[in-house]
Amino acid sequence: MEYRIAGILLSEERLAERIREIGQQIGRDYAGKELVVIGILKGAVVFLSDLIRAVPPSVDISLDFMAVSSYGDSTKTSGIVRIVKDLDGSIKDKEVLIVEDIVDTGLTLSYLVKMMQERQPRSVRVCALLDKEERRKVHVDVDYRGFAIPDEFVVGYGLDYGGRWRHLPAIHTVAQQ
Q: Return the active site residues.
A: 104
For the chain, what percentages of helix, strand and coil (3-state, to nearest 5) are there? 25, 35, 40
Contact 8/149 with Cβ under 8 angstroms?
no
Strand order in the sheet with 3-10: 3-10, 171-176, 154-155
What does the chain come to in residues? 177
Angle between helices 45-54 and 12-29 (to 10 degrees): 60
- Strands of 73-168 (E only): list them: 82-85, 95-103, 123-131, 144-148, 154-155
